Chains A and B, each alone.
Chain A
């Protein structure tokens, strides 16, 4: 059981938080805990204070926990983004558009799910105390037979010492940003086909070196073909792949069709 004391940060504030990271099922769980423990109004979250506490909590994660830390890191980045947006003057948006709104909604939704989870847990435990036909089966239990050990102490000792303790493998993670986005390739294909009636697959790849560009361009082409926005043609196996213009559709119109769920 690991506990960490967190300075809440405010000048002169002498409140310390106890955070046991292993207890939390994820970043939302930790955030809710921080908010509840300090009796913070969920609609008026002091983002900088909470972010500082959140960062302190994940900084105290041990190396073994770091495997699961990605989600906490993402939330930390999200908190910083919200703080940054709050500092920016509101030029384009209306005054009442609080950058915290989405986070508040997620937290409330998460809390609601926890209520439902508790309800399911109670229902499960009640149901598990009632039995239907076939619970008690007539199969006889295997009688335990006493076997006299003829192993000597030396043999036990030799076996024990021959066991090697498995070494802890330290896995190195390389985190790279996503270099090639499929959306960019969708744009590339559609923009090219606005100028040209047809284009060779290899022509689209010429300016790029990494293999990932080839993969993403192909995926974008397949996705567009599925949506009937381009036509694919290939004379025979392993020959050049051609993409043909289908109609005069703007990239924006097609993209909105590709991602209807992203409101």
Chain B
């Protein structure tokens, strides 16, 4: 029995992404580095053997998923409900939360220009966002952030998988930001004074630590 097969057995039997340290728990001979090496080996094996599945990096972990070319065949089996797709307003709201977290409802509504309480509740019910802290303003507003389920739903490994704002066609330039827009941006203006382009994406770098994990603790007062 080889370590690669142990890793394969663990991955095969799981229906959710597993982190390498979780997989390593299976045997004393395993550690995170060995697991990563085994996964590389398995990935190559599956590719060479033209298997119908692959190991995908999702939400900081690994999961065996079927290749998308086989979707039409599997979709004929309707025994398990398909995960329903999100509506346009829901995706829009999620985009704002993903890039601006932690963010309160009032700020979300200011960016969207429409009331968003219902959409936020829907996203919360689907566990794609959650309350991750409270703001300092009047009434201490709830602040929202994305969850691990968010990464799973979109097949992202971590928040770094989202496009960087400087790669998007629409880029917000520093000189066009009025003073009244908000403290988040003015803070960035102060810290990044020398750079010409100011983007919301920098928030993500601040949030995601070295291992790409979003801290889920409320901000310290």
Contact = CB atoms under 8 A, between A and B. Distances in A.
Given A71-B114, A124-B85, A126-B155, A135 B74 contact: yes
A47 interface: no
Nearest to A30: B113
Contact of B77 (A110, A115, A132, A135): A135
Interface string A96-128: 000001101110111111111101110111111
B79 A139 contact: yes
Interface residues of A, number: 53
B67 A130 contact: yes
B41 to A, nearest CB: 21
B212 interface: no
A121 B91 contact: yes
A182 interface: yes
Interface in B96-132: 96, 98-99, 110-115
Interface string B141-181: 00000000000011110000111010011111000111111
B79 A102 contact: no
Contacts of B43: none
Interface string B175-192: 011111111001000000
A204 interface: no
A166 interface: no
B183 A260 contact: yes
A75 interface: yes
B162 A136 contact: no
Contacts of B115: 71
Given A26-B112, A134-B80, A105 B178 contact: yes
Given A25-B92, A109-B111, A126-B68, A263 B74 contact: no
A132 B138 contact: no
Interface in A20-38: 25-29
A112 B68 contact: no
B215 interface: no
A101 B155 CA distance: 37
A260 B56 CA distance: 43
A211 interface: no
A136 B98 CA distance: 32
B64 interface: yes
B92 to A, nearest CB: 5
Given A116-B98, A132-B65, A260-B137, A71 B172 contact: no
A198 to B, nearest CB: 24
B209 to A, nearest CB: 22
A106 B163 CA distance: 20
B180 A102 contact: yes
Nearest to A259: B137
Contact of B163 (A119, A129, A136, A261): A119
A75 B66 CA distance: 47
Contact of B68 (A71, A109, A130, A263): A130
Interface in B55-71: 56, 63-68, 71
Contact of B179 (A26, A139, A263): A263
Interface string A247-259: 0000000000011
A241 B83 CA distance: 55
B154 A120 contact: yes
A131 interface: yes
B136 interface: yes
Interface of B: 12-16, 56, 63-68, 71, 74, 77, 79-80, 82-83, 85-86, 88-89, 91-92, 94-96, 98-99, 110-115, 135-139, 153-156, 161-163, 165, 168-172, 176-183, 186, 200
Interface of A: 25-29, 43, 68, 71, 75, 101-102, 104-106, 108-117, 119-121, 123-139, 141, 182, 223, 258-263
Given A27-B114, A43-B176, A121-B91, 8 more contacts: A26-B114, A113-B111, A119-B163, A123-B161, A124-B91, A130-B56, A259-B137, A263-B181
